Each structure stands twice: as structure tokens, then as C-alpha cells.
With several copies, the nearest count.
Chain A
Amino acid sequence: MSNKIIKKGGLLAVLLLLPSLAFADELNGANTAWILTATALVLFMTIPGLSMFYAGLVRSKNVLSVFMQCFAITCVTSILWFVAGYSLAFGEGNAWIGDFSKVMLAGVDRDTLSGDIPESLFAMFQMTFAIITPALIVGAFAERMKFSAMLLFSGIWLLVVYAPVTHWVWGGGWLGSMGVYDFAGGLVVHITAGVAALVAALVLGPRKGFPTTAMPPHNLTMTIAGAGMLWVGWFGFNGGSALAANGDAAMAILVTHISASMGALTWAFIEWRKFGKPSALGAVTGMVAGLGTITPASGFVGPGGALIIGLLAGFVCFNATQFIKQKLKIDDSLDVFPVHGVGGILGTLAVAIFASTELGVFSGYGFADGISSIADQFSVQAIGVVAVIVFTAVATYVILKLVALLTGGLRVDEEAEQQGLDIVSHEETGYNL
């Protein structure tokens, strides 16, 4: 079970107050109702949310390939999570990785509980996180990766990168034990995905024509609609990570919402000042930055803190995007690293500050057990960040090289890239209007 619930001091008090919660090993219907909903919301984030968000940003000839990648990842990671991923992440194991005790959800029955919700539900809720994380990476290699290579990469990555890191942080592993704060997946989801994206963008190389040829989004209406779905679904992501229908969940969605709003406004206002006009794409990108950044912090900070975190998210991720694209000229095609990676890092560090109970209106709800200062919490967070970045970068690189060997190269050939992946890889076209 996620240890974030154990971390929270007030839980026992709450348990005593509520008669129907008196025994920890009894199913709580209300919490179950909310996590059932949250699970649907997080799935909604990936399909159709993220897939629309991403698909609108590529060129028309690749629109279906992006949808297909998100969809296929959803299916493959679901099966792998059920078969082994959940066990590797949440099986007891050691400080580094779970075990095979829950392979194919062995021992998970309708009546089995995880905390006070069904374990089948906990596994399913976590599955939706395991789905979206590799799906986020799609943005880095869009418009040029072979479908077979993409599929193989995503599957291996889930088991080799995502599952262990999840274990480190939420599954009883070393980072969790150190008291690292990651409410809903700054380390686990956004940093892993962001760093993997950067590595993938470097290994695959830029799209033909980048950065000289213009590659404007083919359908921003699709992207914005998907962004709206992401926002809504994120309530399940962060609010559901409380694993309960209570004030923690409520506060989590409140801070999530405020950070998203501030991120969007900040990004749009920077554009307004800098380029003269605020763009809709800028606003929704800032919103996603705000959401990604608040994610690790969402259960630990208050709304005042969220305001600052959202502001920082918009500012830092905007500049990171410019830097990666214009200075480093890396074709992380849909800006996964500067938005999710940088946002995840920022949020994971910022929680050490805004969890403090001594910041007046910007206060949060305190540090992890046994930690008593911003500095101490910060150093734990920093260790987490560095460890996850290094591990993810190395492992992703190795997996990509391996997959390249197995599939005879990660990219489609130049002519196929020219023609577009929809026809070349899937024999379909997106639009026949």
C-alpha cells in the first residue's frame, strides 16, 4: 500500500472519530466509491485526454499514430501491470524492488483489502498511473518512431524503470523510508516520464526538417479539448491519491486546481509580454505545467503554497521549453521534458518548502515523520530527484539501445517519415472530410 497515508499524522484521530472506520481492515464504502471514480478519471486522462492533447499537436499525417501509440500503451501496460508490474512495485520485496508474490494478482480477491479499500481497486487505481506514465513519453518521439519499437520500449520501460521507482517511493522502498514526499507522482510519474522523454529525443534524433521546417499543430481544438480532460481527470489523479474521500482529497484537488490556474495564467502572461499576444496553446501548456508541478506536493501544501507553485511552474517550464528547443535544439517534439520533467523536479523540491507549517498563508501540512525543517526535507527530496533522474536516464538509454537492436532501428525510414506514420504504420488516414 502507498505509504503516503501512513505518513499522515492525523489519520488515527480521524479513525477514532468515525465509527464506521473503527477497524482499519474493514472496507470503507465511501473511500471505495471515491477511488472507483478516481480510477475512471485517471484512465480518462490518458484516453481520450492525453491522446487528444498530443494528437492535436502533430501534423495531420501522424495524428492516428499518436492515438494508436497512446492506446496500445494503455493496453500493453495494463496487461503487464496485472501480470507482473503491480507485484514488482507493491510486492513486499526489499528496498529496491518488490517481488513476484502478487504476479497475476495472486491472492487478490474480491474481499482482499488494501487499507480500507479493495486491493483490486488499489491495483487498478495504480494501473491507471502505470498507463499514463509511458504514454507521456510518446510526446518525445512522436512522428518518427517505429510502432514495434515503441511498443517494445514501453513494455520494458514499465517493468524496468516505472515499477522499481514506484517501489522506491510508494511500495515500501528506500525513498519512502527516508521520508520522501511524493503525493501523486512527481518522482514516480513526471520525472521518470520527462527524463525518459529527453533521453528518447536525443537517442532518436530530431524529426526530418527540425528545427528549420515549420511543424505547426494540425488541430489545436483537439489539443485544447484534451487539455480540459486532463485537468478534470487530474482531480482523480491527485485527489484519488489520498485514497480516501476526506479533507485530504478535497484539499488536494483544491491546490491542484489553483496551481493549474496559476500555471496557465503565468505562461499566457509571459507570452503576452514577450511576444505581444497570449496564446491558447500557451495557456493550456502552462496549465499542464501547473498540474504536473503540484502533483508531488498536492497532499502536503495549502492553497497559498499552490499559488506560488503554479506561478513557478508557469515561469520555469516556459523558460525550460524555450531553452531546450531554441538553445539546445533538441527535438523533444511535444515538450515532455521541459513541462513534465522540469515541472516534476520543481514540484518535488518545492514541496519541501511549502509543506512547512510556518509560512503563514503559504503554509502546508508539515514534513514527513521525523523530519523537522525545510532544509532536511529538501535534502531528502533532492536525493529522490537525483536518484530518479540518474536511474531513469541510464535505464532508458540502455532499453532504447536494446530495442534498436531487436527492431533494426528505432525510427521509420525517411520516406515513411515524409509520407506520415498513419499510412505507413497503420494503413489509415485521420480525416476524410
Chain B
Amino acid sequence: MKLITAIIKPFKLDDVREGLSDIGVAGVTVTEVKGFGRQRGHTELYRGAEYVVDFLPKVKLEIAVSEEQLDQAIDAIIAAANTGKIGDGKIFVTNLEKVIRIRTGETGNEAL
């Protein structure tokens, strides 16, 4: 199994989740994160004190999938999250050695 970690723009969350549902991926874990990258931040001004905010709000999705689902899932994420503008984010894939469903103790693909 593989763990997909996708960092996307927050307002794309609903689209991506729907895209994943459509291909049968039901489970996702979402974290609010801040991203530094090429996309430029903005400046805030408080009583004349300038404050450059170079991190941007992003959303991180973690999705455990079977090998078979991997490519399809990646495509679905790209399709939904792509705006063509800088800051669209990244997808990382790592290997998952084990997956367990706490409720039942099931492991492997069953546990997804």
C-alpha cells in the first residue's frame, strides 16, 4: 500500500474529496498546514509596522491507497486541484508497510 500526501489550496478541498470519492477512495485525513514555496505571500501592516507573511494557508491530505488505486488517485487529485496558478501544491508518495483498522484489527487492503 502507498500513502499519498497531497498539499493543495484550501478552497480545492471539496473538489478533491469528491474526485477521490468518485474513484472509490473513501478515507482521507486532512490537516491545515502553512506552506512556504515559490508562491509569494503578502504583506500585513499594523500601525505602520510591516510584517511579511511568506507562509500561505494550505491543506494537506493523507490518503492510504492500494498499489492499484495509486495512479488513479493521483490523477484524480491533480485533476481537481489544478488551477494552473503557482502554489497549486505537491503530491508525495511513500511506501506503507502496514495498515491496520483499529476497530476490527483488519490489516492490509481490507483496512483501507
Q: Chain B's nearest CB lies how many Å from the CB of A330?
A: 13
Contact A216 B44 (CB under 8 A): yes
Q: Chain B's nearest CB lies how many Å from the CB of A42?
A: 25
Contact B47 A429 (CB under 8 A): no
Give the complex CA separation of A275 and B14 in angstroms.
Answer: 26
Residues of A with C-beta under 8 A to B45? 271, 275, 277, 279, 427-428
Contact B48 A427 (CB under 8 A): no
| Residue-wise interface mask of B (22-51) relative to A, using a CB-CB cutoff of 8 A (1 in contact, 0 not) | 000000000000000000001111111101
Give the complex CA separation of A325 and B51 in angstroms.
Answer: 14
Contact A326 B48 (CB under 8 A): yes
Q: Chain A's nearest CB lies how many Å from the CB of B13?
A: 11
Residues of B with C-beta under 8 A to A326? 48
Contact B49 A325 (CB under 8 A): yes
Q: Chain A's nearest CB lies how many Å from the CB of B86?
A: 13
Contact A427 B47 (CB under 8 A): no
Q: Chain B's nearest CB lies how many Å from the CB of A209?
A: 9
Contact A281 B46 (CB under 8 A): yes
A361: interface (CB < 8 Å): no
**Which A residues between 248 and 302 are near B, CB-CB below 8 angstroms?**
271, 275, 277, 279, 281-282, 285
Contact B51 A281 (CB under 8 A): no
Q: Which residue of the partner chain, among B14, B46, B48, B52, contacts A217 with CB atoms under 8 Å?
A: B46
Q: Chain A's nearest CB lies how many Å from the CB of B89?
A: 15
| Residue-wise interface mask of A (210-223) relative to B, using a CB-CB cutoff of 8 A (1 in contact, 0 not) | 01011111000000
A322: interface (CB < 8 Å): yes
Query: Residue of A at shortest CB range from B14?
Result: A213
Interface centre among B42, B48, B53 (most CB of A within 10 A): B48
B92: interface (CB < 8 Å): no
A423: interface (CB < 8 Å): yes
Query: Residue of B at shortest CB range from A326?
Result: B48
Contact B47 A282 (CB under 8 A): yes
Give the complex CA separation of A279 and B45 in angstroms.
Answer: 8
Contact A216 B47 (CB under 8 A): no
Give the complex CA separation of A217 and B11 in angstroms.
Answer: 17
Q: Which residue of the partner chain, among A216, A275, A285, contacts B51 with CB atoms under 8 Å?
A: A216
Contact A423 B44 (CB under 8 A): yes
**Pairs across A and B, CB under 8 Å, 11 listed:** A213-B14, A215-B49, A216-B44, A216-B46, A285-B47, A318-B48, A321-B47, A322-B48, A325-B47, A325-B49, A335-B47
Task: List the 3 closest A-B pairs by CB distance, nearest first.
Answer: A214-B51, A322-B48, A427-B45
